Each structure stands twice: as structure tokens, then as C-alpha cells.
Amino acid sequence: MSYLRACLLSFCLVPYVQATYDAREATIASTHHSLYTGLATCREVVTSFLSRIESLNNYTNAIISLDPNVLDRADAADVRLAANNASLGALFCIPTFLKDNYDTAALPTTGGNLDLAGSRPSLDAAAVTALKQAGAIILGKSNLHELALEGLSVSSLGGQTINPYDSTRTPGGSSGGTGAAVAASFAVWGTGTDTVNSLRSPASANSLFSCRSTRGLISRNGIIPISYTQDVIGPIARCVEDMAAALTVMASVGYDPSDNTTALVPPSARGVDYTASLTQGSLKGMRFGLLQGFMNTTNSSETTPVNNAMANITTKLLQAGATIVPIHDPLYNATALAALDTQRYEYREQMTTYLQRPSLHGQHPKTLNELYNSSDKFLVIPSQYEYVTTSLASSTSNQTWNTHPSYSSILHGVANLTLALHTTFAANELNAMIYPEQENLVVPIGSASQSGRNGILAALTGSPVVTVPVGFSPATQTAPEGVPIGMEILGLPWTEEGLLQAAFQIQGLGRVRKMPGWAKGVVEMSGDGKVPVVRPDRGNISPAYPVGVL
Ligand SMILES: *[C@@H]1O[C@H](CO)[C@@H](O)[C@H](O)[C@H]1NC(C)=O
Ligand SMILES: *[C@@H]1O[C@H](CO)[C@@H](O)[C@H](O)[C@H]1NC(C)=O
Ligand SMILES: *[C@@H]1O[C@H](CO)[C@@H](O)[C@H](O)[C@H]1NC(C)=O
Ligand SMILES: *[C@@H]1O[C@H](CO)[C@@H](O)[C@H](O)[C@H]1NC(C)=O
Ligand SMILES: *[C@@H]1O[C@H](CO)[C@@H](O)[C@H](O)[C@H]1NC(C)=O
Ligand SMILES: *[C@@H]1O[C@H](CO)[C@@H](O)[C@H](O)[C@H]1NC(C)=O
Ligand SMILES: *[C@@H]1O[C@H](CO)[C@@H](O)[C@H](O)[C@H]1NC(C)=O
Ligand SMILES: *[C@@H]1O[C@H](CO)[C@@H](O)[C@H](O)[C@H]1NC(C)=O
Ligand SMILES: *[C@@H]1O[C@H](CO)[C@@H](O)[C@H](O)[C@H]1NC(C)=O
Ligand SMILES: *[C@@H]1O[C@H](CO)[C@@H](O)[C@H](O)[C@H]1NC(C)=O
């Protein structure tokens, strides 16, 4: 993309340093270790990621924009570090990518859409303010499926993001740019949003962890919206510790009058430090409900690897002392549950409200209908998505509509489903439900949709889910490491602490995550110090897991 190229070129003038800091699979802990022991400056940390991006982004096309002032921010961090400032935050100098539907005053916020290329929020999203206060360094914005409406991660502004593990496949989505960027060590971690699957599908397809938190835990103020009922935001990371640290900061916004769902957080879930109790869980005695209806038992090259990985993880959970309770209730059928999707009722009002925020400057359409009127610029035509086409005429209050149930009957169905979910938990004494995020491998580039995903249950009920890597498909010519497979762990509202503890224990059962082969290359300066060069893997990649876990 020429758009990105312009941003990237500004870094060509940066002298490349032979880093003492290894960006590959770096964690918050390993980065802080380097900074606090004087092994690396913040400028060196940030530069090592930027040189990776410049040299390697062509393999995956994950990035939409880079902040041209990021090295100034790194230098400011170095001044604070040198001053031995006691109040360095939990994410001090941690390179971070934001999905390009998070408002930022420093960078355009486009949703990957050409019609929003000139849109300029003058305020940061509430979660972005919290991340900056905690010291995070925002490197830039990652590509997404256009306006976060599907899971293929192709957009009119950012093009197609390529799965880092298989050049013929999509990276999942809609937060696919963040997934690919984090898998390739272009940042330590990144943010996503999730209306149906969008934090979980990229985690699953890129061998990463993500947390879709309970609706209300994190303010959605300043995020390009789709659905009041279903939208949530959250972190995608390479290890549970980093996911927990990022979640803690994002949730620290707390009650925000501009997103009234944040009033729902009970006192026990306010101001929680999710890193504090990570090690205190145990799989022994935990009861996991395995949703049989969320698996495709067909024997095929796309589904069998997923079923094998699920069999593998359930065996490991049993060996660790957990109980697996098979759940056969036909209620848990993702295709049938999709009938309750609220997006077609809520999208128009939500998006038009966003486009009319007084803080949104620059050139941009003022309503969803106006945005779609210029559909010639859309890579993804609206007629491809029935719910988007429908939303142009429908609304939360339009009761004159014959071909779909009324909005109020849908909300009644969602409330009924939520009670049914709680009933399954209570009747089976479950701690959590488990199932594959996607019943088949992530789909090839060019597919019509990201089929086979199971995100709808948590999306409708506002339940928290932690996604964990559980395996890979067999290696092929285009996927030398195999294609990653992820599992969802769904809990009742406000049980994030327990879900993260379970994920931490599962991470400790044995390392599943692998780096994409091409991303193992070491990026360093050429002889003249001007051009970054990629050298093959030296085989000494710093582990994503702190010593002691494995
Ligand atoms: C990416 O760019 C590098 C350096 O120009 C080149 O060696 C490599 O083949 C490219 N990879 C892809 C997938 O285009
Ligand atoms: C130390 O950090 C605090 C909080 O971010 C900031 O207000 C203060 O200016 C910093 N002091 C120095 C010397 O950088
Ligand atoms: C909560 O916020 C939504 C969206 O801003 C609004 O439509 C709804 O009326 C609010 N509900 C209450 C009870 O204030
Ligand atoms: C199950 O997987 C097979 C093989 O990939 C596929 O053809 C079929 O459509 C899938 N069934 C469902 C219900 O998704
Ligand atoms: C699944 O299909 C493969 C390839 O056709 C075959 O070798 C294998 O035996 C089948 N497995 C089962 C359990 O039917
Ligand atoms: C799941 O729901 C779909 C749509 O209602 C239906 O066609 C399908 O038969 C159901 N699957 C099962 C296994 O009942
Ligand atoms: C869409 O474009 C048509 C033709 O230019 C115009 O008549 C109509 O008012 C526009 N609708 C909206 C919602 O902007
Ligand atoms: C309500 O829905 C009908 C049928 O789709 C549509 O013709 C009408 O314009 C809608 N009314 C409003 C106020 O959106
Ligand atoms: C409520 O959920 C139950 C249990 O899944 C189901 O049998 C019933 O049809 C649902 N009722 C409505 C009105 O959706
Ligand atoms: C199952 O787990 C074992 C040991 O952790 C691993 O070697 C194997 O590749 C896994 N199989 C799948 C299908 O994930």
C-alpha cells in the first residue's frame, strides 16, 4: 500500500542499531528486564520492532499506518527512565498496535475504509488514553476486515492481510492485522474488538491468546461501533501474562458515562489487577463443559485437525485433574443462534452516532447511509452482508418490518438464551465451557466468509472468553509449521480472573505456540548502516513464557 509506504519511508533515515534486545517473541517482562537493567534503551526497543516491520511486513501486510513521531515518544520514555522515575507504568515502553477502529488523535482512524481515510478523531478512545497513561508506545494501526464487518481481514484501504503461517489463508478477523502483527513480533501485543468473533478468530488463527471481556468491563467510548449489544474490546497477546497486564490497563477506565454498559460492573470486578492472581489457579477439580454442537465431526483436512487438537487438549485437562462434561443440548448450535444477531437492528444508529461525534474532525460521511452511498469505494460491497443492507433501512425502533422478527423479540430471545446458558452452568456445576473457536481451519484467501466460527454465543450473552492456542494442523508446503488452532474458554459474567488463571495453567501444560518461520529472521543493519537486512534464524529466540512456567 502506498499509504503505508509513505509512513514507512520516514524510518529509512533511522540508523539501525545492532540490538542487544531481541524483539522476537519478546514479552512485557523480557522488555522491562532489558530496559531496567540497562541492556537496551526505549529507542532501541522501538527501533528493533520498526526495522522488523519495514523488512518483513510484505510477508503479511498487517499494518495500515505507523506513527511518524514514535521515536520522539521513545526518547521521552528514555528521559523518564534515566530520571529513575518511580511512576513508570505497567506498560512502560511496550510497543503496541491498535486495530484501526480505535480512535487516536495522533493517527487517522479509518476502519480500513477509503471513505474514512480523511476522518480525524481529535480525542483518543478511552482505552487508548489508559494505555498511554500506563506508558504503552503506540507504534501504529493494524489492518482489519473493513469496518470490522467480517472475518477475512481485507479492506479497501489496507488490502488483504495474509496469514503469517500459511500464505494462502486469511489471518482470521476482523482483528486480523493485530493477530498477524503480534504473531510476527511486530509488537509485543495489540488490541482488537469483537462483535461476534473478532478478538477470538485472529487469536485462534495466529497461535495467540485473547480476552473478550464481559460486556461493560471496558469502555467502548471512541471505538468505531457496530452493535450496542455485542461490541466489546480487548487484548491479543503471545502469552497469558501479557494479556492479563493489558486487560488490567484497559479495564482501569472503569465507569465511563459515555458507555452506560460500564455501570454494570459489580464492585468485586472493579479495579482488578489480573496479573496479581494468575498463578493461584488450578485445573484440578475444575469442570469444563465441552460443547458437542460446536464441533464439525466430518472427517476432512479442514476439520479433522481441529477435532484432533480438541481431543488433545481435553486429554491434557483430564490428566491435570479437571473434569470434562460433554454438553449435547441442541441449543448450542452456532448456526441457529445466529438468528438472534442484533447487528442488523443496531448498526445504523450506532455508526451514525459515531460519525456525528463533535470530536470527529476531517472529511467523512455523516451517516451510515451516506457512507454506503459511496459504495463504489468499498472493496466489500454492502449487498454481500444481508445484515448491513438490512441495517440501512432497519433500526431499533422500526416495527414495520415483516421479513425479520422485531428488535424487541430479538432482545427477548437474547435474554432467554442468557438464562439458558446460566442454567447449563448451574445444572452441570460448570466452571467454564470449552469449544474450538472455529470448527475448521481458518479459510483460504478469496473465500466468501470466515465460516465455521462459534463466537456468537458469547457475543449475544455478553460472556467473557479467553482464547488459547491448542495445536496446529499437519505441515504443508504453504504452511511449514501447520495452521494454528485455538480454543475458547467461556465463563459466566465477571469471571475473567478465573478464566485467566485457567488459561495460565493451560499455557503451563506445554508450549503450543510456534513462531512463523519467516518471522524468525534477525533484522540488522547492512554494512553502510542504511538498509535493514534479514538474516536467518539463529535459533536463540527469547521465550514468550517467563522462566519457571515451563
Ligand atoms: C519481502 O521483501 C524481502 C526483501 O525485499 C524479500 O526478500 C522477500 O522475498 C519478500 N517477501 C515476500 C513474501 O514478498
Ligand atoms: C515522572 O512521571 C510522572 C508521571 O508520568 C510525570 O508527571 C513526571 O513528569 C515524570 N518525571 C520526570 C523527571 O520525567
Ligand atoms: C444506554 O446507552 C445507549 C446508547 O448510547 C442508549 O441508547 C440507551 O438509551 C442508554 N440506556 C440507558 C438506560 O440510559
Ligand atoms: C463440516 O465440514 C465439512 C468439511 O469441511 C463441510 O463441508 C461442511 O459444510 C461442514 N458442516 C457444517 C455444518 O459447517
Ligand atoms: C479420515 O480420512 C482419511 C483420508 O481419507 C482416512 O485416511 C482416515 O482413515 C479417515 N479417518 C476416519 C476416522 O475415518
Ligand atoms: C443447527 O441449526 C441449523 C439452522 O437452524 C440447522 O439447519 C441444523 O440442522 C442444526 N444442526 C444440528 C446438529 O441440529
Ligand atoms: C444517496 O445518493 C443519492 C443520489 O446521489 C441521493 O439522492 C440520496 O439522497 C443519497 N442518500 C443519502 C442517505 O445520502
Ligand atoms: C422501516 O422498515 C421498512 C421496511 O424495511 C422501511 O421501508 C422503512 O423505511 C423503515 N423505516 C425507518 C424509519 O427506518
Ligand atoms: C427460551 O429458551 C428455551 C431453552 O433453550 C427454549 O426452549 C425456548 O423456546 C425459548 N423461548 C423463547 C421465547 O425464545
Ligand atoms: C497433541 O499434543 C502432543 C504433545 O503436546 C503434540 O506433540 C501433538 O502435535 C498434538 N497434536 C495435535 C493434533 O495438536
Place of cell 503505508: 4
Kindly identify the ligand whose nearest atom is closest to the C-alpha of 420.
9
Could you list the beta-strand ranges (E) of 3-157.
Answer: 63-66, 95-99, 119-121, 137-142, 154-155
CA–CA dist 275, 470 (Å, integer):
22
395 with 345: CB under 8 angstroms? yes
CA distances from 384 to 155, 184, 449, 456, 477 (A): 14, 31, 10, 19, 32
Residue 386 clears pLDDT 90, i.e. is over it: no
Query: What domains sit in the chain, N to C, each tagged with a CATH number?
Result: 3-535 (3.90.1300.10)
Which residues have C-beta atoms less than 6 Å from ligand 3? 228, 260
Ligand 3: distance of its center to the CA of 210 in Å?
A: 28
Ligand 2: distance of its center to the CA of 322 in Å?
A: 47
- pTM value is 0.93
CA atoms within 13 A on the CB side of 380: 29
pLDDT in tens, 127-146: 999 999 999 999 999 999 99
Band (523; pLDDT cuts 50, 70, 90): confident
Q: What percent of the chain has pLDDT over 70?
A: 90
Q: How many CB atoms lie within 10 A of CB 399?
A: 10
CA–CA dist 282, 146 (Å, integer):
40
Tell me, using a 6 A CB cutoff, whether residue 369 lines ligand 8: no
383 prior amide bond cis, ω within 30: no
pLDDT of residue 415: 98
DSSP string, 156-184: TTTEEPPPTT-TTB---SSSHHHHHHHHT
201 with 455: CB under 8 angstroms? yes
Pocket test for ligand 1, best of 12, 56, 59 (most atoms within 8 A of CB): 59
CA–CA dist 134, 78 (Å, integer):
15
Tell me, using a 6 A CB cutoff, whether residue 401 lines ligand 8: yes
The closest residue, in CA terms, to atom 9 on ligand 10 is 471
Pocket test for ligand 10, best of 207, 307, 312, 506 (most atoms within 8 A of CB): 312
Ligand 9: distance of its center to the CA of 417 in Å?
A: 7
Residue 1 clears pLDDT 70, i.e. is over it: no
Q: Which three cell numbers stand for residue 514?
A: 510456534
Ligand 8: distance of its center to the CA of 392 in Å?
A: 9
- Is 55 an active-site residue? no
Q: Is 482 helix (H, G, I), strand (E, B) or coil?
A: coil
Band (188; pLDDT cuts 50, 70, 90): very high
Q: Is 339 helix (H, G, I), strand (E, B) or coil?
A: helix
Sign (positive/negative) of CA torsion 205, 207, 208, 210? Answer: positive
Residue 189 clears pLDDT 80, i.e. is over it: yes
- In angstroms, the first-to-last Cα distance of the chain is 41
- Is 530 an active-site residue? no
Residues contacting 477, CB < 8 A, separation 6+: none
Tell me, using a 6 A CB cutoff, whether residue 424 lines ligand 9: no
Summarize the confidence of residues 114-120 as an average pLDDT.
94
pLDDT of residue 14: 40
CA–CA dist 532, 57 (Å, integer):
13
Residue 11 clears pLDDT 80, i.e. is over it: no
Summarize the confidence of residues 89-115 as an average pLDDT.
97
Kindly identify the ligand whose nearest atom is closest to the C-alpha of 390.
8
Summarize the confidence of residues 145-171 as an average pLDDT.
96
CA–CA dist 295, 335 (Å, integer):
12
pLDDT in tens, 319-368: 999 999 999 999 999 999 999 999 999 999 999 999 999 999 999 999 99
Least Cα distance to 30 among 14, 15, 48 occurs for: 48
User: Which of 16-25, 188-197, 538-547 is predicted most confidently?
Assistant: 188-197
CA–CA dist 225, 147 (Å, integer):
9
- Is 174 an active-site residue? yes
Could you list the beta-strand ranges (E) of 377-530.
Answer: 432-436, 465-472, 484-490, 522-525
pLDDT in tens, 13-69: 344 444 479 999 999 999 999 999 999 999 999 999 999 999 999 999 999 999 999
The closest residue, in CA terms, to atom 2 on ligand 6 is 336
CA–CA dist 130, 114 (Å, integer):
28
